[in-house]
RNA sequence: GGGCGUGUGCCCGAGUGGUUAAAGGGGACGGGCUGUAAACCCGUUGCGUAAGCUACGAUGGUUCGAAUCCAUCCGCGCCCA
């Protein structure tokens, strides 16, 4: 993989471009090849054209979350510096399934779902990106038209050994897990996207490194200057272990209710705070470091730091007053055990009565959507989770006079409330 | 194409004819403690308010009785070609 003269170190780039490159790549993990970003910035400036910065997102789930926000934020910085983001909605690659970081094949998502997701993705991405400086492309635009002959050309561009080198495949291969030939093809298709949009730089999470390099590998075969590759860290989810993802349920969506966001942030493990301060809080690097060091040196109480973090996360997408409101509600509900405002109404009219005219309480819990079966509802009661107007329901109480339930606040656990009508 | 192996509850995994609704672990949920953190302790984790029903890839069979035995099929893997 050779660099074209465009990236060659003929003369060192001017200091201002070195500084700009450093600022733009702040917090990123890989910037490849080393030193090329400053030169690329300078060439773009000299040529008077913006760089085309590519990001591909496969719309396999309907929500954009804080994990995506990490890379989107970096792209926004490029936009603010005058460059163009090419956002690729992988409607076609989603049909293949990215094997990155996967120990199993991805479940196949059907076409309608992909299209629906693709739309919400775009919308949500624009909560961070500047639409004026974004070119949105769906990769079906070129992948759907790829003739067999063109596919052959593409497939000749990489070897099996090379593709099998990558970690995910390696692991699966050695543990005798299946790898489909289609999955093997995924990196090539993503690489071809770079050819199709003539990208100067491609961004992705660290798990994308291989795919990103494939674009760099393929572009020269199509007579293009190879793109630079920049990776951002993978944000871990609320469980503090796995990378944030919809399918693991450990994510905070950009569209989540601010009150939920506050609670979710409060529930993350302390060890996650430095990471989230740096990458999820929307703060500058120095601001984030100040908090991280404060906690480390014991000058900031972890609880205070986490509350502040929660407010910052909300303030990225909502006014400050909303963040403050979320914090107040949080305290009311979880510190003072007050009943939150705006709890749903629950009608028990449709629940069958016993001969004695009583209602079966587990069935009420099912009606509220808190249990999927009467058995599960009963277990909640027996586990002491259910309260009526704040008073714990005894494990033995399964039937109750509906008249005593009217207007009452029913609660299961700490966060599920309903007012019975 | 041939040989061998494998398929268990949300996940991993034990279980080779009867007290197995299925050990153990993880996860999840709930209770306690707390900073809704971690750690720790406790409980629950198929459906049915009960009789009972359904469940160990699928179908059929053997048996008083099957997750466990047999046959066929399907999925997955390994080896040979």
Longest dimension (CA), chain A: 92
Contact A125, A64 (CB under 8 A): yes
To the nearest whole number, what is the mean pLDDT of chain A?
89
Residue A4 has pLDDT above 80, yes or no: no
Separation CA A50–CA A134 (nearest Å) = 12
Return the pLDDT at A70: 95
> Would the CATH topology of A15-232 be identical to that of A345-420?
no
A391 closest CA partner among A377, A399, A381, A378: A381
Q: How far is the CA of A396 from the C1' of B22 (A)?
A: 28
| Helix and strand numbers, DSSP H then E, in chain A | 17, 13
Q: What is the ipTM of this complex?
A: 0.85
Q: How far apart are CA A409 and CA A407, in angstroms?
A: 7
- pLDDT score, position A385: 93
* Predicted local confidence at residue A162, as pLDDT: 85
For residue A87, the SS3 value is: strand
Which nucleotide has its C1' atom closest to residue A359's CA? Answer: B49
Q: Where are the domains of chain A?
A: 15-232, 258-334, 345-420
pLDDT at A267 over 60: yes
Q: How far is the CA of A175 from the C1' of B46 (A)?
A: 32
List the alpha helices (DSSP H) in A236-351.
258-266, 273-279, 285-296, 302-315, 320-330
| Element holding A228 (H helix, E strand) | strand A228-232
Asked whether A87 and A101 are in contact (CB, 8 A), the reply is no
Looking at the C1' of nucleotide B36, which residue has the nearest alpha carbon? A267
| Mean pLDDT value across residues A216-245 | 94
**CA A175 / C1′ B12 distance in Å:** 15
pTM of the model: 0.85
Compute the average pLDDT of residues A69-98.
Answer: 91
Model confidence over A147-173: pLDDT tens digits?
A: 999 999 998 888 888 888 887 788 777
Give the percent of chain A with pLDDT over 90: 64
Alpha helices, DSSP H only, in A148-284?
Answer: 148-156, 160-165, 167-174, 181-197, 209-218, 258-266, 273-279
User: Quick one: pLDDT at residue A2?
Assistant: 40
- Å separating the CA of residue A375 from the C1' of nucleotide B65: 29
pLDDT at A10 over 70: no
Rounded to whole angstroms, the distance from the CA of residue A225 to the C1' of nucleotide B30 is 59
DSSP H helices in A316-395: 320-330, 361-367, 374-382
Residues near strand B (C-beta below 7 A) are A 176-179, 239-240, 262-263, 266-270, 302-303, 306, 330, 334-335, 354, 358, 360, 362, 372-376, 379-380, 382-385, 398-399, 412-416
Residue A105 has pLDDT above 70, yes or no: no
CA-based nearest residue to A19, from A42, A49, A43: A42
Distances from the Cα of A242 to the Cα of A219, A246, A251, A272, A404, angstroms:
33, 11, 10, 11, 45
What is the per-residue pLDDT for A305?
94
Given CATH 3.40.50.620, say whether it is the number of domain A15-232. yes
The Å distance, CA of A342 to C1' of B62, is: 63
Measure the CA angle with vertex A164, ends A160 and A165; round to 5°.
Answer: 120
CA of A304 to C1' of B80 (A): 66
Determine the pLDDT at residue A103. 60
Which residue reads 């001969």 in tokens?
A: A355
3-state DSSP assignment of residue A23: helix
- Is pLDDT at A365 greater than 90 in this prediction? yes
Homologous superfamily (CATH) for A345-420: RNA-binding S4 domain (3.10.290.10)
pLDDT-based confidence at A249, cuts 50/70/90? Answer: confident
| Radius of gyration (C-alpha) of chain A in whole angstroms | 26
In chain A, the percentage of residues whose pLDDT exceeds 70 is 95
H/E stretch holding A44: helix A36-47
User: Which bases of strand B sit closer than 7 A to a protein CB?
Assistant: 27-32, 35-38, 43-49, 76-78
Instruction: Give me the mean pLDDT over the A100-106 stretch.
Output: 61
A109 compared with A227, residue with greater pLDDT: A227
A306-328 mean pLDDT: 95
Angstrom distance (rounded) from CA A330 to CA A114:
36
What is the 3 state secondary structure string of A58-71?
CCCCCCCEHHHHHH
The nucleotide minimizing the C1' distance to residue A269's CA is: B37
């Amino acid at each position: 993989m050779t660099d074209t003269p465009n990236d060659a170190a003929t003369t060192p780039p001017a200091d201002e471009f070195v500084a700009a490159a450093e600022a733009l790549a702040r917090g990123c993990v890989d910037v490849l090849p080393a030193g090329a970003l400053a030169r690329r910035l300078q060439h773009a400036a000299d040529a008077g054209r913006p760089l085309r910065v590519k990001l591909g997102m496969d719309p396999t789930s309907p929500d954009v979350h804080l994990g995506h926000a990490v890379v989107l934020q970096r792209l926004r910085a490029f936009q603010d510096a005058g460059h163009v983001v090419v956002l690729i909605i992988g409607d076609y690659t989603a049909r293949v399934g990215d094997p990155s970081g996967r120990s199993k094949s991805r479940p196949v998502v059907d076409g309608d779902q992909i299209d629906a997701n693709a739309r919400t993705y775009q919308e949500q991405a624009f909560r961070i990106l500047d639409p004026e400086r974004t070119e949105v492309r769906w990769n079906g635009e070129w992948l759907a038209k790829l003739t067999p002959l063109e596919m052959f050309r593409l497939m000749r561009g990489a070897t099996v050994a090379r593709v099998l080198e990558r970690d995910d495949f390696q692991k699966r291969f050695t543990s005798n897990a299946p790898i489909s030939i289609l999955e093997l093809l995924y990196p090539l298709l993503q690489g071809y996207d770079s050819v199709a949009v003539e990208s100067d730089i491609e961004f992705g999470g660290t798990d994308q490194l291989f795919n990103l390099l494939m674009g760099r590998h393929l572009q020269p075969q199509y007579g293009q200057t190879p793109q630079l590759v920049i990776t951002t860290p993978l944000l871990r989810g609320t469980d503090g272990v796995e990378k944030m993802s919809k399918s693991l349920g450990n994510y905070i969506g950009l569209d989540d209710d601010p009150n939920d966001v506050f609670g979710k942030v409060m529930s993350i493990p302390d060890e996650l705070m430095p990471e989230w301060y740096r990458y999820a809080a929307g703060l500058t690097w120095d601001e984030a470091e100040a908090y991280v060091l404060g906690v480390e040196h014991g000058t900031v109480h972890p609880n205070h730091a986490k509350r502040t973090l929660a407010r910052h996360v909300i303030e990225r997408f909502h006014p400050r007053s909303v963040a403050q409101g979320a914090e107040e509600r949080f305290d009311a509900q979880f510190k003072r055990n007050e009943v939150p405002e705006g709890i749903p109404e629950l009608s028990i009219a449709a629940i069958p009565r016993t001969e004695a005219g009583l209602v079966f309480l587990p069935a009420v819990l099912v009606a509220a959507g808190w249990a999927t079966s009467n058995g599960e509802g009963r277990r909640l009661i027996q586990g002491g989770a259910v309260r009526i107007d704040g008073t714990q329901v005894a494990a033995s109480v399964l039937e109750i006079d509906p008249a005593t339930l009217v207007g009452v606040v029913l609660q299961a656990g700490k966060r599920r409330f309903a007012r019975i009508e």
